[in-house]
Chains A and B, each alone.
Chain A
Amino acid sequence: MADYEQLDTPSVVLRADLQRLFDSLHARGYETIAPRVENGAIIYDEVTSVDALPAGWTDEQEGGFYRLEGRDDGALFGYTVGPQSWKRYLSPPIRRLWQARKNGDGFEIVHEDAPTPHYALIGVRACELHAIHHLDDVYLGGSTIDADYQQRREAAFIVAVNCGKAGNTCFCASLGTGPAVGPGYDLALTELVTEREHAFVVTVGSERGADVLADVPHRPAAPGEFDLAEAIVAEAARHMGRTLETTGLKELLYRSFEHPHWDEVAERCLTCGNCTMVCPTCFCFTVEDTTDLTGQSAERWRRADSCFTTAFTFITSGSQRASAKARYRQWLTHKLATWQDQFGSLGCVGCGRCITWCPVGIDLTAEVAALRAEEIGQPQPEAVLEMA
Chain B
Amino acid sequence: MLATAIHERQPAVARTFATNGCVPYRCRVTERHQENDDTFTVELEPAGARSHAAFAAGQFNMLYVFGLGEIPISISGDPARPDRLVHTTRAVGTVTRAMATLRRGDMIGVRGPFGSSWPLDDLKGKDIVLVGGGIGLAPLRPALYQLVAQRGDYGRVVLLYGARTPEDMLFRAELERWRSRFDLEIFVTVDRATGDWHGNVGLVTALIPRAPFEPQNAVALICGPEVMMRYAVQALHKRGVGPQQTYLSLERNMKCGTAMCGHCQYGPHFVCRDGPVFRMDQVQRFFGKWEV
Contacts and interface: CB of A to CB of B under 8 A. Distances in A.
Contacts of B64: 289
B17 A298 contact: no
A300 B22 CA distance: 10
B263 A144 contact: no
Nearest to B68: A289
A289 B261 contact: no
A250 B9 CA distance: 25
Contacts of A100: 66-67, 109
A289 B252 CA distance: 19
Contacts of A329: 291
Contacts of A150: 6, 16
Interface residues on B, range: 35 or more
B15 interface: yes
B107 A338 contact: no
B9 A136 contact: yes
B253 interface: yes
A65 interface: no
B6 A287 contact: no
A142 B259 contact: yes
A298 B67 contact: yes
A186 to B, nearest CB: 7
A283 B260 contact: yes
Contacts of B256: 285, 287
Contacts of A207: 1
Given A291-B67, A316-B92, A384-B233, A321 B291 contact: yes
Given A142-B258, A286-B255, A320 B292 contact: yes
A284 B21 contact: no
Contacts of B90: 316
Contacts of A106: 26, 28, 47, 106-107
B151 interface: no
- Of the listed residues B1, B13, B262, B273, the one surrounded by the most CB atoms of chain A closer than 10 A to its CB is B262
Contacts of A384: 230, 233-234, 284, 287-289
A314 B243 CA distance: 28
A149 B16 CA distance: 10
B268 interface: yes
Contacts of A158: 2
A89 interface: no
A105 B24 contact: no
Contacts of B67: 100, 289-291, 295, 298
Contacts of B243: 385
The secondary structure that dominates the A interface is mixed
B263 A323 contact: no
Given A97-B23, A313-B253, A385 B233 contact: yes
A66 interface: no
B9 A381 contact: no
B225 interface: yes
Interface string A145-156: 111111001100
A242 B19 CA distance: 43
A183 to B, nearest CB: 9
A143 B114 CA distance: 12
Contact of A138 (B2, B105, B255, B260): B260
B43 interface: no
A337 B285 CA distance: 14
B70 interface: yes
Contact of A257 (B26, B47, B263, B289): B289
A285 B18 contact: no
Nearest to A143: B11
Interface in A213-269: 254, 257-258
A347 to B, nearest CB: 11
A315 B6 contact: no
B101 interface: no
A28 interface: no
B78 interface: no
Contacts of B268: 337-338, 341-342
B238 to A, nearest CB: 8
Contacts of A321: 291
Given A148-B17, A314-B253, A105 B107 contact: yes
A322 B261 contact: no
Interface stretch (A15-23, A36-44, A45-53, A107-115): A107-115
B288 A285 contact: no
A146 B10 contact: no
Given A106-B47, A148-B17, A387-B288, A313 B22 contact: no
Closest 3 CB pairs of A and B: A284-B262, A326-B291, A106-B107
20 contacts: A97-B23, A98-B22, A102-B66, A105-B107, A107-B66, A136-B9, A140-B9, A144-B21, A145-B15, A146-B16, A146-B18, A147-B18, A158-B2, A205-B1, A257-B286, A291-B66, A313-B253, A337-B268, A383-B288, A384-B234
Interface of A: 97-98, 100, 102, 105-109, 111-112, 136, 138-150, 153-154, 158, 184, 186, 205-208, 254, 257-258, 283-287, 289-291, 295, 298, 300, 302, 305, 307, 312-317, 320-323, 325-326, 329-330, 334, 337-338, 341-342, 381-388
Given A106-B28, A109-B24, 14 more contacts: A105-B107, A107-B66, A148-B17, A186-B2, A258-B289, A283-B262, A285-B256, A298-B66, A305-B261, A316-B92, A383-B288, A384-B234, A384-B288, A384-B289
